[in-house]
Structure 1
């Protein structure tokens, strides 16, 4: 007998592999886009900080993401490739506030040998083509046409098989790549190639550099002028370009894992190493030529897998090995000598190297205990199993005595109004088309007094109970249609209602029962009880959701 299992994701991915910054949702909106395994998160940079906008699932593990802007466009597009060699180009439609897929396809090759060092996706700075190093010895080229659309892809053979990194150079008349590779003797070199789109082939590039640091693993292209590339190694950082400029500085043995550019002109870069140390690399320039390199220690962060500079010294440090962070780079160091101030942390459970399920509270509810993180960011995490509540927004309002949500009509699937009662007044909030609560007015309600109870009723009516009266208001016109007033010398203390009934206590053990008939409030019964009433409940019991034949009444002891 076969056994079937149903597997569902209980926790969204938290490990950050890539991040990028650009104007994706609008020309005047700066966005941070974060890749987490099979999802992308789109954030908007505001004066109050990062504001989450979208959390989008991608059908595949993300291998690379890049932002680019075709000619005649005012905002950036997003290019994504998955580990299964599927790609897509996404665009944000500001008018409809939705994500559009403008291009998608398969870039796999049947006979290719997958690249040992992982997939690499690069986009020409002048937006002439996209390059993909997916298989050893091949570069897949995806040219753009005159309208910014992708044309049919083709392969160009690379002589170098063990490619460690590959980038496009800035300021070149023809699209030019620089490749960092390792030969059969484990020596590492860089070589440049011009991409001839018409011939679908490579031509020899303007320069090359042999016998680099044996730990060289990362290329950083520098915008023109001066152009060229920075080569990051284990012991040295080298800058070189087509004008035979060669500058190098030594560094401590610290493998750089990620980088982020600070200035548009490419004079400053943030580097993150495997120990979680953040460095600042500065290119000093004279007459548009690089005259030297300088590196400064800034402080400690999580071990970075991606670094994105946002604005005003604020940096997003994405991590696969610990919690991702939003940090501020200060001009002056703190008491420990660090220039880094952590503004916010984003929890990351990965990588999970081991876990177990433990009933910590001995209540039969298991909780997952994980060994999470790596290197200095290793930790033990407790993951509870249950319903998780995410706070969407918060507003400080003092003196709230009651809170009810209302539908705009009985046919609406969702509530639209929020009734907030205070000691001496009642306010009304409504959800607009942008899903934002804004204050409004409901003419039939008494807003100058505390509300004791509020609920939708039959026939598109709303019930408002105050100390002085029970008001029946139309959902459509929002005007008062009927009212029941408390007897002279008494006031309503507590109340409850169903869709067609109202039950209330007026003090001294008096209980009043009302029914809604058509658009009228009709007093059906008045009873005198032996004790003072402290609470009442009229929730429907039975098949009729609008009517209850039973009521629960609590008395003062």
Structure 2
């Protein structure tokens, strides 16, 4: 008898799909912000930077949802050394905070976000739709009760009842591709290379049968009501390459890029412009889809569609050698290199100022008329649409900075975008747009370099092999300039970029080796012996190549150790001292590095308090902490201005070493008189400004902190 066992030792880290949407909160809710780095400031009084959606990424069978934490600059940040990326557009820092992560039972092939479309004044949330091979879809929404995702609907088009959709085939080159209408009215899933599955979104005031009314109240998410299938052969559409939904139509309009007759390398000189785009109006109620307009004679190497936002509208057709724009009212094109030529040879195509190839490129919109393209070499390009009203006059392409080789790119809000990569670290980048000169503040210097050149020194070694800008012009600036004809709508624009955060990627692995780590314990046995070894891997590709060192668990560097017999718990707390008379230089140093003030150790019969300085110093006899018994919990309140210490029969509020308030706990009034005299605190949970107590008789008490007027 034989069997095989497989265990995943490290979750996938290469980002395959990325999207943004209001998953954990709605656009009408206040975007979560973090406190400013100023340790002496009061409660944060800065205004939010605007609705900031979530970031949703998938890596293999791992799905993750992130919250974007934005830190606005204080009044004196302009003269201080700020965090990663510098100060830009009033933002000093932005970071990714993981909300939830899930390991699924299949690899995510495609992903989309069903938007609420501004329904209910922006109070409804968006939903995530995932597709899996061969034709499985799941719609997920955020549940406040569990603080995680839950499945709102599942759609399955496999099995004996759906064999006719395959038309005799068993395997397909492409899996189910998801695209969502910009207004959230429906979603399309292209499956089996010839079937279009339309998922109709539920109306604002409708709910699923048997749905709990609690979920149809505030915080409801966009949902799928029904689905049906369109056979593209009936529309005379074959060999589909891509599709998308257009902006600015009363009904959903789907544009399909397809090839009416195939060609190949040996016939390109004779048959080359074989692609076309067809726009269909999708009526989800009548299940009708008439053809609105179409455009033929597109190059055979066209492979991607990018819907142009309102008020311009239309669609961009991206090919390896050309970029085409098409709409009902106008069309234009741009040649990217010497291999591009017009389909009918009647007129010369406008050419870009430099040669580039856009096969395997990814794109997103920074503004309504400026798109960012990420090429297969890692270059970031800016495509500007020059238009008058709704008539597009020309396309202008310019170089920007270099970055990672991307597998996906998405815009987050109006000031951030995310570069997802399966070959390197994925980056969260802030951008700022202005007219005329560079809009960087005086404290930030423009430099020529990779977009990752401002990464922290701890990560600079990993990225030291990035030499992408050697192929670019030496005098190229950080900002990206787009020139235009002499009209008001196409004034010169500048774009500045700052890397704010990154997601580490350790794949793909090309080779690895293991060996003993430095300072290994040669006398270790059993499980402890495994921690002596490290795994060194060669990962990445090209300019994103790196060496990764993998190890089990965390290995702290031991500075000193002390035996603590009978230790029941240990806590560290902060204390913000008043530094009114400190010099500006010392104030900046203290703000940059803020350390814990006290170390509280609970023993079997007493509590020990140590002060943290250059060395740990016991100050048990000199502080007002409760030291006659054990401590159940300790933490900070009021933005680290006060310390709360909870013990069995009460709690103390301290300002550093001095007590400002003492509380004595009693059982709830609903309990019997006998139990109220003997009930004590059993466990504590502290979340500023709340303190939740569980008493020994099973009752709960909630303490809420407040600032008293002086």
- Tell me the TM-score normalized by structure 1: 0.69
Unaligned ranges ≥5, structure 1 = 407-417, 451-473, 479-557
2:226 corresponds to 1:151: yes
The residue aligned with 1:347 is 504
Instruction: Give the Cα separation in 1 of the matches to 2:315 and 2:178.
Output: 17
Deviations 1:323-375 (A, max 9, x none): 11122336454144334433333211222234344445585644333332223
The residue aligned with 1:334 is 447
For the residue of structure 1 that corresponds to 2:543, the secondary structure is helix
The residue aligned with 1:120 is 177
- Alignment match of 1:131 (pick from 188, 195, 212): 188
Do the aligned partners of residues 185 and 420 (structure 1) sit closer, same or farther apart at CA in structure 2, a change above 3 Å counting? farther
- Does structure 2 retain, via aligned residues, the 8 Å contact 1:132–1:140? yes
Q: Which structure 2 residues correspond to residues 22-421 of structure 1 after superposition, within 5 A?
A: 22-27=21-26, 28=29, 29=31, 30-48=53-71, 49-70=95-116, 71-72=119-120, 74-94=124-144, 97-108=147-158, 109-111=162-164, 112=166, 113=169, 114-146=171-203, 147=206, 148-158=223-233, 159-182=236-259, 183-186=261-264, 187=272, 188-194=274-280, 195-197=282-284, 200=287, 202-212=289-299, 214-250=300-336, 251=352, 252-255=355-358, 256-263=360-367, 266-311=368-413, 313-329=415-431, 331=438, 333-336=446-449, 337-339=477-479, 340-359=497-516, 365=530, 366-384=533-551, 386-388=552-554, 396-404=594-602, 421=610
Deviations 1:172-227 (A, max 9, x none): 34432212223312444232242354665643231223232x43221100123321
Q: Which moved further from structure 2: 224-233 or 115-124?
A: 115-124
- Does structure 1 retain, via aligned residues, the 8 Å contact 2:365–2:372? yes
- Does structure 1 retain, via aligned residues, the 8 Å contact 2:201–2:225? yes
**Shift in Å at residue 421 of structure 1?**
4.0
The residue aligned with 1:440 is 644
Which structure has more RCO (C-alpha within 8 Å, separation ≥ 6)?
2
**Shift in Å at residue 118 of structure 1?**
3.8
2:13 corresponds to 1:14: yes
- Does structure 1 retain, via aligned residues, the 8 Å contact 2:322–2:333? no
Deviations 1:42-86 (A, max 9, x none): 111222322221112222111111112345462211111123432
Q: Which moved further from structure 2: 101-110 or 335-344?
A: 335-344
**Shift in Å at residue 444 of structure 1?**
5.5
Do the aligned partners of residues 402 and 179 (structure 1) sit closer, same or farther apart at CA in structure 2, a change above 3 Å counting? same
Do the aligned partners of residues 282 and 3 (structure 1) sit closer, same or farther apart at CA in structure 2, a change above 3 Å counting? same
The residue aligned with 2:78 is none
Give the superposed CA RMSD: 3.7
Unaligned ranges ≥5, structure 2 = 32-52, 72-94, 207-222, 265-271, 337-351, 433-437, 441-445, 450-476, 480-496, 523-528, 557-571, 575-593, 612-618, 658-677, 683-710
**Shift in Å at residue 312 of structure 1?**
6.1
Do the aligned partners of residues 173 and 445 (structure 1) sit closer, same or farther apart at CA in structure 2, a change above 3 Å counting? closer
For the residue of structure 1 that corresponds to 2:105, the secondary structure is coil
Do the aligned partners of residues 219 and 440 (structure 1) sit closer, same or farther apart at CA in structure 2, a change above 3 Å counting? same
- Does structure 1 retain, via aligned residues, the 8 Å contact 2:55–2:67? yes
Do the aligned partners of residues 241 and 312 (structure 1) sit closer, same or farther apart at CA in structure 2, a change above 3 Å counting? closer
The residue aligned with 2:2 is 3
Deviations 1:422-449 (A, max 9, x none): 33434985589xxx99942436578889
- Does structure 1 retain, via aligned residues, the 8 Å contact 2:375–2:405? yes
Deviations 1:499-550 (A, max 9, x none): xxxxxxxxxxxxxxxxxxxxxxxxxxxxxxxxxxxxxxxxxxxxxxxxxxxx
**Shift in Å at residue 103 of structure 1?**
0.8
- Does structure 2 retain, via aligned residues, the 8 Å contact 1:370–1:381? yes
Q: Which moved further from structure 2: 11-20 or 286-295?
A: 286-295
The structure whose residues are more often helix, as a share, is 2
The residue aligned with 1:510 is none
Instruction: Give the Cα separation in 1 of the matches to 2:230 and 2:149.
Output: 30
- Does structure 2 retain, via aligned residues, the 8 Å contact 1:327–1:343? yes
The structure whose residues are more often strand, as a share, is 1
- Does structure 2 retain, via aligned residues, the 8 Å contact 1:430–1:438? no
Instruction: Give the Cα separation in 1 of the matches to 2:310 and 2:405.
Output: 30
Q: Which moved further from structure 2: 73-82 or 112-121?
A: 112-121
Do the aligned partners of residues 475 and 14 (structure 1) sit closer, same or farther apart at CA in structure 2, a change above 3 Å counting? farther
- Does structure 2 retain, via aligned residues, the 8 Å contact 1:156–1:200? no
Instruction: Give the Cα separation in 2 of the matches to 1:438 and 1:9.
Output: 44
**Shift in Å at residue 128 of structure 1?**
3.2
Instruction: Give the Cα separation in 2 of the matches to 1:419 and 1:83.
Output: 59
For the residue of structure 1 that corresponds to 2:329, the secondary structure is coil
- Does structure 2 retain, via aligned residues, the 8 Å contact 1:349–1:372? yes
For the residue of structure 2 that corresponds to 1:210, the secondary structure is strand
Instruction: Give the Cα separation in 1 of the matches to 2:500 and 2:238.
Output: 43
Instruction: Give the Cα separation in 1 of the matches to 2:642 and 2:8.
Output: 35
Do the aligned partners of residues 234 and 405 (structure 1) sit closer, same or farther apart at CA in structure 2, a change above 3 Å counting? farther
- Does structure 1 retain, via aligned residues, the 8 Å contact 2:112–2:130? yes
**Shift in Å at residue 283 of structure 1?**
1.6
Do the aligned partners of residues 240 and 9 (structure 1) sit closer, same or farther apart at CA in structure 2, a change above 3 Å counting? same
For the residue of structure 2 that corresponds to 1:376, the secondary structure is helix
- Tell me the TM-score normalized by structure 2: 0.55
- Does structure 1 retain, via aligned residues, the 8 Å contact 2:129–2:139? yes
**Shift in Å at residue 242 of structure 1?**
1.0
Instruction: Give the Cα separation in 2 of the matches to 1:161 and 1:300.
Output: 37
For the residue of structure 2 that corresponds to 1:150, the secondary structure is strand
Larger Rg over CA atoms: 1
**Shift in Å at residue 168 of structure 1?**
1.3
The residue aligned with 1:476 is 680
Do the aligned partners of residues 445 and 241 (structure 1) sit closer, same or farther apart at CA in structure 2, a change above 3 Å counting? closer
**Shift in Å at residue 31 of structure 1?**
1.0
Do the aligned partners of residues 389 and 104 (structure 1) sit closer, same or farther apart at CA in structure 2, a change above 3 Å counting? farther
Deviations 1:254-293 (A, max 9, x none): 3352112223xx2122211111111222222222332222
**Shift in Å at residue 229 of structure 1?**
0.4
Instruction: Give the Cα separation in 1 of the matches to 2:5 and 2:390.
Output: 62
Instruction: Give the Cα separation in 2 of the matches to 1:440 and 1:177.
Output: 59
